[in-house]
Amino acid sequence: MIKVIKMQKPDIQVAAKIANQCFKGYGSFNGAKKWITCNFSAFPRAQYFVAKEIRPRRIRLGRKGIIFGYILWIEKGGFRKESVWELEQVAVGPNYQGRGIGAKLILDSLETIKKNLKKRGSSLKLVEITTGLHQAPHLYQKTLGAKKEAVVKDFFRGDEMILVARFKG
């Protein structure tokens, strides 16, 4: 069974491996690990979740479960009553792509964020996503109802699209 849960410090190693496989900008495993460790330390502003295989106690066999992917959310502009978040990054290991794990990471982790916002007396106003034009903006359109707001020319490795998903309290 795959569950989306809050990333723990020991998960950083595997997340860095996935990041290095999925994104060329890190330059190396160590670069990816440094970036993820930095953001992991910025909790609660930055929040990582992992899609992890959770085995029933009777089937554990000494392994803690496979991490299939991760997601990073960043709260923007302070801890406001109407909260704005950026879906900074979602990555699924190359061997596990195309199985709905990215959508599960987005939807399940966002539900956790919404619950935590409610506990502090806030609500989700919008989610911002920046993605390459050659990547899959349809994932964000399908899972979040995100709509294209702008295109930024020559951003990172090429043109990037900014999408926004709006929510009502």
Among 155, 147, 109, 156, residue whose Cα is nearest residue 129: 147
Greatest alpha-carbon pair distance for the chain in Å reads: 53
Q: How confident is the model at residue 62 (pLDDT cuts 50, 70, 90)?
A: very low
Mean model confidence pLDDT for the chain: 92
| Average pLDDT score over residue span 46-57 | 88
pLDDT at residue number 64: 64
Strands 82-92 and 67-76: antiparallel
pLDDT at residue number 68: 97
Contact 154, 118 (CB under 8 A): no
Q: How far apart are CA 162 and CA 167, in angstroms?
A: 17
Contact 29, 17 (CB under 8 A): yes
Q: How far apart are CA 88 and CA 48, in angstroms?
A: 10
Using one digit for the tens of pLDDT, what is the confidence trace for 77-103?
999 999 999 999 999 999 999 999 999
Using one digit for the tens of pLDDT, what is the confidence trace for 6-49?
999 999 999 999 999 999 889 999 999 999 999 999 999 999 99
Whether pTM exceeds 0.85:
yes
| Average pLDDT score over residue span 63-71 | 86
Q: What percent of the chain has pLDDT over 70?
A: 94
Is the per-residue pLDDT at 56 higher than 70?
A: no
Measured distance between the N- and C-terminal CA atoms of the chain, rounded to whole angstroms: 31
Q: How far apart are CA 4 and CA 101, in angstroms?
A: 9
Task: Return the minimum-mean-pLDDT range out of 57-71, 114-128, 130-144, 154-168.
Answer: 57-71
DSSP string over 13-67: HHHHHHHHHH-GGG-SHHHHHHHHHHHHTTTTTEEEEEEEE---GGG-TT----E
> Which residue intervals of 87-146 are DSSP H helices?
101-119, 137-144
Contact 101, 91 (CB under 8 A): no
Q: How far apart are CA 33 and CA 147, in angstroms?
A: 32
